[in-house]
Amino acid sequence: MTDLAALSAGGLAKAIRDKKVSSVEATKTTIEQLKACHELTNCIITLEADEALAAAKAADAAIAAGTAKGPLAGVPLAHKDMFDRKGRIASWGARIRADQPASEDATVIARFKAAGALQVAALHLTEFAFGPTGHNYVLGHARNPWDPTRITGGSSAGTATSVAYGAIPAGMGSDTGGSLRLPAAACGITSIKPTWGRVSRAGAMPLASCLDTIGVIARHVEDLALTLGFLAGPDPRDPAATSLPVPDYVARLGDPIAGVRVGVDEVVIRDAHPLVQGMVEEVLGILGKLGLQRAACRFPDWQMLDHLVQLLQMPDAAAAHNAYMRTRPNDYGPQVRARLEVGHFIAAVDHMTALRARGTYLQRTLDTTFKGLDIAILPILADPLPTIAELDVAGGPKLQAAMGRVVKYTRPINYLGLPTLTLPVPRKGGLPNGIQLIGRPYSEAQLFAIGQAYQREVPPEIARPL
């Protein structure tokens, strides 16, 4: 019997195409696995079992008739509950939502549908995707499937826990300050935060539109390549979605990687916990075995980048929530409310300075940090996986310091808009963690080729409590 949980999305699509398993069988298994995962991790916001089973039945009929279309025909998936779907109201992880259902699908939802995928559930996220730990003071905190006392990372918590558990092979999330990378790292799986503008944001919940990036979390790098291949590309509904050609990422998974030069900024990494520094060294050892060449590099002043990205993010998010923050502040959880308030105090001149400086600092990073290099490596979490209790700071006085430490290695990269691949570090029986490989703009194909080779050395795992 096929072990569905171990399959990639592409592998499951092939099994369904080859009639080794039906879409209905796969969907029933997914529903049961999601329920079990939810008991452990609080991953589900809405389970749509009946509709998914009806869609699966239709997919099986289309496959039998030879009319099924798309690389994921009949594959049951689930995504972060922040994307418009016609006739529905996405929760955005919050209590406050407009009463008006969406009039059309988000572009990325439409592209998953066109690829043949089904949606079984809408998954947990930090309230309004504005939090890096998986804490949600409105809907309940997410729990890590490896150890339910630990954080999941956020904000795409439900997608990461469901993927790590093996309930789904892949699902969408978003990243404004680390929300694809932190949960992937905390749950021991992979994710792609594409170059800013590579994927349309149309119909996705806005947090800070100048930073928001839609991406995918998966156990297998090949699924990141497969899904980005149909998600990327221009969209008349999002002027920021670039018209640059989309490579055949799957075909390029086998690109040669020997000789790829990986930069290591030892000054920036030095601020991580010694155990995390050791994890980076271990991954560098594996990459070295694969033929990558290590070199020293220096990012621009890391704290300055972190301040600049906050000067973009905070007022952008505050503006998006301006009406509700004035009229319904008590409907927000304490942490998101306190974070949104900060944006109201940032002067317009400082926000504009950060916006105007962004191209300059990106160019400087490419000319200096990446000079002679292809990629750079950094930790994602600065510390070994914290507990939910340790980071239960709500909106209190420890908020800025605690959140700042969690996003220390992720948020500045959003200012630069660079593509980033998350890879899990070898777990050796312990708790998961991850590193990020940061590429030059639109170098996702190279990142995937490296990730694919890495997973031959560090195979994907299914998460269960240790």
Partner 1 sequence: MASPEQPPAGSPAQDVAAYLDMPPERRAAAKAHVATLSATAGKVALELPLGADVDDFRRVLVAEAKQP
Among 161, 242, 433, 446, interactor with partner 1 by CB under 8 A = 242
Q: Are strands 434-439 and 213-218 parallel, antiparallel or unpaired?
A: unpaired
CB atoms within 10 A of CB 371: 12
Question: Which is catalytic among the residues 8, 91, 155, 174?
Answer: 155
Which residues have C-beta within 8 Å of that of residue 151, sequence separation ≥ 6? 133, 134, 135, 142, 144, 186, 385, 386, 387, 388, 391
Minimum distance of partner 1 from residue 393's CB (angstroms)? 12
Site for partner 1 in 306-325 (CB under 8 A): 307-308, 310-311, 314, 325
Q: Does 397 bind partner 1 (CB under 8 A)?
A: yes
Q: Does 252 bind partner 1 (CB under 8 A)?
A: no
Structural tokens at position 461: 């795992």
Enter the DSSP assignment of 331: G
Among 149, 293, 368, 400, interactor with partner 1 by CB under 8 A = 400
Q: Does 98 bind partner 1 (CB under 8 A)?
A: no
| In contact, 238 and 106? CB cutoff 8 Å | no
- Report the residue number, 406 or 453, with the smaller CB distance to partner 1: 406
Among 95, 252, 294, 440, interactor with partner 1 by CB under 8 A = 440
Q: Does 431 bind partner 1 (CB under 8 A)?
A: no
Question: Which is catalytic among the residues 80, 156, 174, 200?
Answer: 80
Among 363, 387, 464, 465, interactor with partner 1 by CB under 8 A = 363
Is 155 considered catalytic here? yes
Is 371 considered catalytic here? no
Span interacting with partner 1, options 17-25, 57-65, 84-92, 346-354, rule CB under 8 A:
346-354
- Report the residue number, 27 or 195, with the smaller CB distance to partner 1: 195
Minimum distance of partner 1 from residue 337's CB (angstroms)? 9
Question: Which is catalytic among the residues 179, 191, 200, 443?
Answer: 179
CB atoms within 10 A of CB 71: 19
What are the distances in angstroms from CA 283 to CA 219, 427, 457? Answer: 17, 11, 10
Site for partner 1 in 191-230 (CB under 8 A): 195-197
Structural tokens at position 385: 């996986």
Q: Does 357 bind partner 1 (CB under 8 A)?
A: yes
Q: What are phi and psi of 321, to 5 degrees?
A: -105, 10
**Rounded to 5°, angle at Cα 429 from 427 and 433:** 30
Among 61, 267, 323, 347, interactor with partner 1 by CB under 8 A = 347
CB atoms within 10 A of CB 103: 9
3-class state of residue 190 by DSSP? strand
Enter the DSSP assignment of 195: P
Burial of 24 (0-12, 13-18, 19+ CB in 10 A): buried
Is 80 considered catalytic here? yes
Q: Does 328 bind partner 1 (CB under 8 A)?
A: no
Structural tokens at position 298: 């220096």
Give all strands (DSSP E) within 232-302, no chain letters: 261-264, 293-296
Axis crossing angle, helix 49-65 with helix 9-17, rounded to the nearest 10: 50
- Report the residue number, 183 or 333, with the smaller CB distance to partner 1: 333
Q: Are strands 375-379 and 293-296 parallel, antiparallel or unpaired?
A: unpaired
Among 236, 270, 345, 428, interactor with partner 1 by CB under 8 A = 345
* Residues at the contact surface with partner 1, assessed by CB under 8 A: 195-197, 240, 242, 244, 303-304, 307-308, 310-311, 314, 325-326, 329, 338, 341-342, 344-347, 349-350, 352-360, 362-363, 366, 395, 397, 399-400, 417, 440-442
Catalytic sites, residue numbers:
80, 155, 179
